[in-house]
Amino acid sequence: MKTRGAIVRQAPGKYEVVNLELDDPRQGELRVKLVASGLCHSDDHIATGDIPVGMYPFAGGHEGGGIIDEVGPNTPGFAVGDKVIFSFLPGCGKCRWCATGHQNLCDLGAGLLAGSRWTDPTSYRLHLEDGSPVGQMCGISTFCEYTTVSVDSTIKVPDDTPLEVACLLGCSVGTGWGSAVNTGEVRPGDTVIVQGVGGIGANAVQGAAHAGASNVIAVDPVPFKREAAQTLGATHAVDNMNEATELAKSFTNGQGADVAIVTVGIMKGEIVAEAFASIRKQGTVVVTGLGDLTDVGIPVPLGELTLFEKKIKGSLFGSSNPTADIPKLLDLYRTGHLKLDELVTTRYGLDDVARGYEDMHAGKNIRGVIVY
């Protein structure tokens, strides 16, 4: 069938909306009509070239939800009309990582940026009108009106799920919330610093508050984001790490934060070092943000790493198991314990993708959402 989607033809580049040809679903696949898609910074990293992909053109979008339009042959468990949310990380359910409760590290993730099907590097589901293949971001490309995806990336949700906000569960909410609750293991009474409170950091604030942290210090240079963080559970909001570190020490008899979560838009080693300096002995730095994937090095004192037993941990999708955690987070939203509506600053049409990213860079959005 024909559809429309936002692609980048090269990097650096900008998203442009074009007409596309979409293949019908095969066994183990679904065709989904998108309802909404979040504008995540990771897709902007694709456009800037910070995150290289396997091919161009490349159709963006990895945080979305929609309604099943067609089910592939011999594909049980799904029906036309079902509402679904995508997990940007697929789960095969069979590899070592899925089998040990680390679905976010599923071996299928090795092919997320190739653009093709993970089981066949020569097989594509999107094409330009001239027949040229188009890569799919994370195998789903939620910046398309319709998309064909694997069931490994799809989680069925109740029919009354409001996908315009619940689409955020496919990346930003689970990534931020899990960075605090799962990776950071925030405990009641902790002092937590969240460095960068955009779409991911705002949910790290929520996660830290849910876990019972006594002090949640949000750090961001943008006043609007600091104000938003305080409506989501931050007890304090400052514009720089020096002030955040001194605040954390004032709450802990000079020791420092228990956990520092780094969710800035463009990650640098120096930023991780600031977080490292802010934590106490045996404290934890959680590194969630992304930047140039070729950057190497974190300038931290090695003696302090050893003698103070400080920890630096990476966090992918908040160390979550999407098949279980997306429904759990949806339940938290339904019971009033998780805020989703408040995360959506601006709604855009598909043709406004480029403007949405301009607004993100200008610090105008906690989360922009494309509504189809």
pLDDT tens digit string along 185-221? 999 999 999 999 999 999 999 999 999 999 999 999 9
pLDDT of residue 57: 97
Q: What mean pLDDT comes out for the span 68-95?
A: 96
Q: What mean pLDDT comes out for the span 59-68?
A: 97
290, pLDDT greater than 90: no
pLDDT of residue 265: 87
What is the pTM (predicted TM-score) of this model?
0.94
**pLDDT single digits (tens) 8-37:** 999 999 999 999 999 999 999 999 999 999
Percentage of the chain exceeding pLDDT 70: 100
**pLDDT single digits (tens) 133-148:** 999 999 999 999 999 9
pLDDT of residue 327: 97
pLDDT of residue 119: 86
**pLDDT single digits (tens) 101-132:** 999 999 999 999 999 998 899 999 999 999 99
pLDDT of residue 294: 85
**pLDDT single digits (tens) 292-345:** 888 899 999 999 999 999 999 999 999 999 999 999 999 999 999 999 999 999
Plot region of 315 (φ>0 → left; ψ -120 to 50 → alpha; else → beta): beta
Task: Compute the mean pLDDT over every residue in the chain, rounded to the nearest whole number.
Answer: 96
Contacts of 253 (CB under 8 A, 6+ apart): none
Which CA distances in Å does 291 have to 61, 62, 113, 266? 17, 17, 15, 5
